[in-house]
Amino acid sequence: MSDREEIWIVDRFEGERAVLERALHERLEVPRALLPARAQEGDALRVTIRTADGESRLSIVRDEAETRRRAGEAGRILQDLKRRDPGGDVKL
Amino acid sequence: MGDGGVRHLLRRAAIGLLLAAAACAPRRSPAPSASGTLELRFLDVGQGDAALIRNGGKAVLVDAGPTDAIAGKLRALGVDSLGVAVATHNHSDHIGGMDAVLASFPVRFYLDNGDPANTRIQRTVLQLVRDRGVTYLQATDRTIEVGDARIRVVPSPVRDRPADQNDHSVALLLERGAFKALLTGDSERREMEGLLHKALATDVDVFKAPHHGSRTGILEGWLERIRPEVVVISVAAHNDYGHPHAEALAAYQTAGAHVFRTDRDGDVIVTVDAAGCYEVRTAHGGPASVARGGPAACAPPPLKESLP
C-alpha cells in the first residue's frame, strides 16, 4: 500500500464539471459531485491517492491553509504590480 | 422609431444584402490589410478565448487561449510585439497560454481583473509580468488608444464574490469611426445586468458571445439593448460542456445576428476602415467577405461587381 499527496486547485466550474489544475499546464476534469460540497473556485484541494492491490482511491479535502497561502502569494504580487500602474488612459 | 432605430434597420439591410451577394459571388482577393485597416481577429484556440486587435502598427491581445499554441499563432500572423495583453479574467481557458506570450514577445502593458485565482498559471503569469518589467494596468474605467481606434476598459460592476471569476470579467468596447465591438469575457447574468445599468453600449456591430456561447451569457433585455449584427462564439468542437448551448444560439438567431463560430469557421476576421465600415472573413471560408456592415454610407458593392 502506498499513499501520495497532491495539491489540486479548482480552476473553474462548467455546469456539473469541475476543471482542476493538477500542475502548471496540466488540468483534469471531474464531476463536481466528487469534490467536497463547499468547494469553490480558487480552492486548494489536498488529494490523497492511496494505491493498494493494484487499485487507486482518491480522497479529496479542502485545504484552507494552502488556499490562504496561495491567495496571499498572488495578492502580494498583484499589490506590487498595482503600485506600478501609471494611471489614466493609455496611448500605444 | 428614433434615429438609432432607423440606423439599425439601415445597417441590417446593408448586411443582409451583402450576405445574399456573397452567397453567389466568386472568391475575391483578400481585403487589403495595409495600414489604415483595423483588424479584429478571433483566433481559433479550441475551448478558450483569444482575440487579436491590430491597428496602425500596434497590437493588443485579449486573452491567450488554453495552451502555449497561441505564441505560434501570433508569430505566424507576423506579430513581433504587443502593446497590451489583456486577461479578461483568470480562468485557464483564457490565460493558459499567457505565460508563453509573455515569454515570447515584448509586451508593454498587462491588464487583468486584479483578482487572485490561486492557480499556478496565474502565479506564473504575474511573476513574468513583474520580472519582465511589463507595466501593469488595473481594470479601471480607462481608454487605450490603438492608432485611431480606442478600447474602452470597463471593470466588472460585480465585486461582492471574489471567487467568481466569470462575473469579474473585464469588458472591452472597441471603437473606430462608427464601428463598435463588445467583448465581455465570460460574463454571466449578474455582470451583464450591471453592464446594462451602466448603459455600456447600444447598436454594436460585433459582439463576442460570453462564455463560449453558454446559456449563462443570455440575459433578457441584453441583446435588445446591444443589438449586435455579428456574434462570434469562441468554442471547440465536441467540447465537454455542450457549448454553445442551444438556448444561446436561438437567442442570437432571434436577435437577427449573423453567428460565426471558431469551431466551424476557424479564425473569424473583422476588418474595419476609418469610417467604421467593416467586413467579416473566416479562415475556413477563404478570402471572400461573408458579411459586411457599418454606417448607412457603407453600402455593399453593386451586385455586378461580384459577377465574373
Which domain does A16 fall in, by range? 2-84
Pairing outcome for strands A17-23 and A55-62 = unpaired
- CB distance A89–B165 less than 8 Å? no
Nearest to B136 among A23, A81, A89 (CB): A81
Q: Give the phi and the psi of residue B104 in degrees, each rounded to 5.
A: -100, -25
Residue B201, pLDDT score: 84
Given a cut of 70, is residue B4 above it in pLDDT? no
Residue B283, pLDDT score: 96
Give the Cα separation of B10 and B15 in Å (integer).
Answer: 9
Of B47-61, B66-80, B274-288, the range with the lowest mean pLDDT is B274-288
Of residues B11 and B82, more confidently modeled: B82
Which of 61-80 (A) contact B at CB < 8 A?
A: 67, 70-71, 73-75, 77-78, 80
Cell of B295: 454606417
Is A23 within a domain?
Answer: yes
Residue B162, pLDDT score: 63
Nearest to A84 among B136, B147, B163 (CB): B136
The one-letter code for the residue type at B237 is A
CA distance B259 to chain A (A): 23
Given a cut of 50, is residue B255 above it in pLDDT? yes
When pLDDT is averaged across residues B275-284 and rounded to a whole number, the result is 96
The domain total for chain A is 1
Q: Give the phi and the psi of residue B121 in degrees, each rounded to 5.
A: -65, -40
Residues of B in contact with A15 (CB under 8 A): 241-242
Is A50 within a domain?
Answer: yes
Q: Is B190 on the interface with A (CB under 8 A)?
A: no
Q: Which of A9, A12, A38 to mutate to test the interface with B (most CBs of B within 10 A)?
A: A12
Instruction: Report the percentage of chain B scoring pLDDT > 90.
Output: 77
Residue B22, pLDDT score: 44
Q: Please compute, for residue B14, the number of CA atoms within 13 A of its CA located in the half-sphere on the CB side.
A: 22
Given a cut of 60, is residue B203 above it in pLDDT? yes
Residue B299, pLDDT score: 66
Residue B30, pLDDT score: 33
Of residues B31 and B123, more confidently modeled: B123
Residue B289, pLDDT score: 81
Residues of A in contact with B117 (CB under 8 A): 11, 41-42, 74
The one-letter code for the residue type at A49 is I
Is A92 within a domain?
Answer: no
Residue B8, pLDDT score: 53
The one-letter code for the residue type at B104 is S
Residue B274, pLDDT score: 94
pLDDT in tens, A37-67: 999 999 999 999 999 888 889 999 999 999 9
Going by pLDDT thresholds of 50, 70 and 90, the confidence category of residue B224 is very high
CA distance A13 to chain B (A): 10
- CB distance B118–A67 less than 8 Å? yes
Nearest to A74 among B92, B117, B136 (CB): B117
Residue B164, pLDDT score: 87
Given a cut of 70, is residue B239 above it in pLDDT? yes
pLDDT in tens, B118-152: 999 999 999 999 999 999 999 999 999 999 999 99
Query: Which span out of B70-74, B236-240, B282-286, B287-291 was modeled with the highest average pLDDT?
Result: B70-74
CA-based nearest residue in chain A for residue B127: A77
Residue A53, pLDDT score: 87
Given a cut of 50, is residue B2 above it in pLDDT? no
Q: Is A47 on the interface with B (CB under 8 A)?
A: no
How many pairs of residues across A and B have Cβ atoms under 8 Å apart? 107
Is A89 within a domain?
Answer: no
Give the Cα separation of B200 and B5 in Å (integer).
Answer: 17
CA distance B41 to chain A (A): 19
Q: Is B46 on the interface with A (CB under 8 A)?
A: no
The one-letter code for the residue type at B145 is E
Is A36 within a domain?
Answer: yes
Is A16 within a domain?
Answer: yes
Residue B25, pLDDT score: 38
Residue B301, pLDDT score: 57
Which value, to the nearest 10 degrees, does the dihedral of the CA atoms of residues B109, B113, B116, B119 take? -70
Going by pLDDT thresholds of 50, 70 and 90, the confidence category of residue B11 is low
Is A60 within a domain?
Answer: yes
Burial class (CB in 10 A: 0-12, 13-18, 19+), A38: exposed
- CB distance B130–A80 less than 8 Å? yes
CA distance B138 to chain A (A): 7
CA distance A25 to chain B (A): 7
When pLDDT is averaged across residues B175-186 and rounded to a whole number, the result is 97
Nearest to A82 among B114, B144, B240 (CB): B114
Is A56 within a domain?
Answer: yes
The CATH number for A33's domain is 2.40.50.140
Question: In the predicted model, what is the mean pLDDT of chain B?
Answer: 88
Q: Which of B107, B118, B138, B146 to mutate to test the interface with A (most CBs of A within 10 A)?
A: B118
Give the Cα separation of B175 and B269 in Å (integer).
Answer: 16
Give the residue ranges of DSSP H helices in B67-184: 69-76, 92-95, 98-104, 120-131
pLDDT in tens, A8-45: 999 999 999 999 999 999 999 999 999 999 999 999 99
